[in-house]
Amino acid sequence: MVNDGPLDIARLRRGDKPAWDAFVSRFAGLIHAAVGGVLRQSGRDLAEAADLAQDVFVRLCKDDYRLLGLYDPSRAAPATWLTVVARSVALDAVRRRRPPAVTLDDAPESAVAVQAIEPSGFKIPPGLLSPRQELILTMLYHRDMDPAEVGAALGIDPQTVRSMHHKALTRLRGHFAPENAPRRGVAGDT
């Protein structure tokens, strides 16, 4: 168990050798366990835990002991604070050593190919939608046109296309909704 008594930060920041030896002896196991936990969680080789534990101590000394000087005993016990620092160092190392992601352009087409799924047996009941609503849905969904393109093709404003699209979907949702579900917003319902 780690002795969680106070740290003499001033002695450590001065580079006092006996203070550093005691500090390392006191917390080396805790730091090693913290970085080992991160490595285990990320599926990494535990052999690099010793190197990462050493990196934690280096980070504490770096830039004239800047990180060590940030320790506030009123906010956390030394063991808690050092565990957070050790996990952060280990996570940074894991992120840096992550293999580069394969971009979509580099991936073989067979790895990213998606089989098209066509709706089977879906029919809009006759008379549910107006001919114009059916045409707009066909242009939007089967021809992959956007509202501006549909509007230009039909000679109407794109906002009218969006409005008719919304009304058509509302009618379809109302028609295909389960019988016990509330039918909000369906034309003709009050």
CATH code assigned at 189: 1.10.10
Share of the chain above pLDDT 90, in %: 23
Is residue 151 a part of any domain in this protein?
A: yes
pLDDT tens per residue across span 95-118? 887 665 556 666 666 665 655 544
For the segment 18-40, the average pLDDT, to the nearest whole number, is 91
Task: Give the Cα separation of 56 and 44 in Å (integer).
Answer: 18
- Domain boundaries, position 86: 9-96
What pLDDT does residue 177 have? 78
Residue 190 sits in the same domain as residue 148: yes
Residue 35: burial class (beta carbons within 10 Å; 0-12, 13-18, 19+): buried
pLDDT tens per residue across span 8-28? 888 888 888 998 899 999 999
Share of the chain above pLDDT 70, in %: 78
Q: What percent of the chain is helix, strand and coil (3-state, nearest 5)? A: 60, 0, 40
Is residue 79 a part of any domain in this protein?
A: yes
What pLDDT does residue 85 have? 92
Is residue 170 a part of any domain in this protein?
A: yes
Is residue 66 a part of any domain in this protein?
A: yes
Residue 132 sits in the same domain as residue 181: yes
pLDDT tens per residue across span 76-87? 888 999 999 999
Number of domains in the chain: 2
pLDDT tens per residue across span 134-156? 889 888 888 888 999 999 988 89
What's the CATH number where 27 sits?
A: 1.10.1740.10
Is residue 67 a part of any domain in this protein?
A: yes
What pLDDT does residue 112 have? 57
First to last CA, the chain: 71
Cβ–Cβ under 8 Å, residues 34 and 83: yes
Is residue 1 a part of any domain in this protein?
A: no
Q: Decide if pLDDT at 1 tops 50.
A: no
For the segment 182-186, the average pLDDT, to the nearest whole number, is 54
Task: Give the Cα separation of 177 and 186 in Å (integer).
Answer: 11
pTM tops 0.75: no
Q: Decide if pLDDT at 65 tops 80.
A: yes
Residue 30, token pair as written in the block? 């805790």
Confidence of residue 190 (pLDDT cuts 50, 70, 90): very low
Task: Give the Cα separation of 133 and 127 in Å (integer).
Answer: 11
